[in-house]
Amino acid sequence: MPITITAFERSPDGGKGLARDTRVRWALEEVGQPYAVRLVSFQAMKEPAHRALHPFGQIPTYQDGDLALFETGAIVLHVAERHAGLLPDDANARARAITWMFAALNTVEPPILDLVTARLFEGDKPWSKERLPLVEDRVRDRLKPLAARLGEADWLDGGFSAGDLMMVSVLLRLRASGILDEFPTLAAYVARGEARPAYKRAFAAQLAVNTKPLAG
């Protein structure tokens, strides 16, 4: 059985690559591991069979033999630890790359998700106009030091790593807000990630799912 991941039968973004199966596909593409995808509907995600794989009823999940994982951080780390290509050999550089994965997920992604919620789901609330600038500034508070650290470098710490894969994946969600473009070096960093052949293959694969007519 190949590695099997789950993805939305139809992603709410219509195939922009923002659903989190894209980052898992990307990691698998970077390390050259073939994988199969099981598509799940929103209804199926909340049923016991899927919750046995993902307690929170979400995608993506990852199965390899008798190992089942959820949480993209854990999945990408697992892939990166088992296959060459996403983590450096040097122990300290490896630890730093993993630190960037955590920074992406724990420090940078939360305010970005808050902004997505504010823009998509709270726009009709009477307090929305007052709150949105505060939420946007919290994102900028994360991007400023990130841009300072990246400087003119291509990647966060030497060569491309799982830390960059996760950071680019997280930053991609900002594009629609326009905030990413306020930080040209970060916008270029994201574009470098998207230009990687492995990302392109991952993006194309999820787009194919989301543009194919639904069966039945």
Beta bridge partners of 61: 70
Considering only residues 27-66, where is the footprint of ligand GSH by CB under 6 A? 57-59
Q: Which two tokens stand for residue 123?
A: 């726009």
Nearer CB in complex with ligand GSH: 57/88: 57
Return the closest-CA partner of residue 189 out of 151, 216, 158, 215: 151
- Decide: is 72 part of the binding site for ligand GSH (CB under 6 A): yes
Residues touching ligand GSH, count (CB under 6 A): 7
- Decide: is 114 part of the binding site for ligand GSH (CB under 6 A): no
- Decide: is 71 part of the binding site for ligand GSH (CB under 6 A): yes
- Decide: is 22 part of the binding site for ligand GSH (CB under 6 A): no
Nearer CB in complex with ligand GSH: 71/157: 71
Instruction: Give the shortest CB-58-to-ligand GSH separation in angstroms.
Output: 3
Q: Are strands 61-64 and 3-8 parallel, antiparallel or unpaired?
A: antiparallel
- Decide: is 77 part of the binding site for ligand GSH (CB under 6 A): no
Give every CB contact of residue 192 below 8 A, 6+ residues apart in sequence. Answer: 154, 155, 168
Binding site for ligand GSH (CB under 6 A): 19-20, 57-59, 71-72
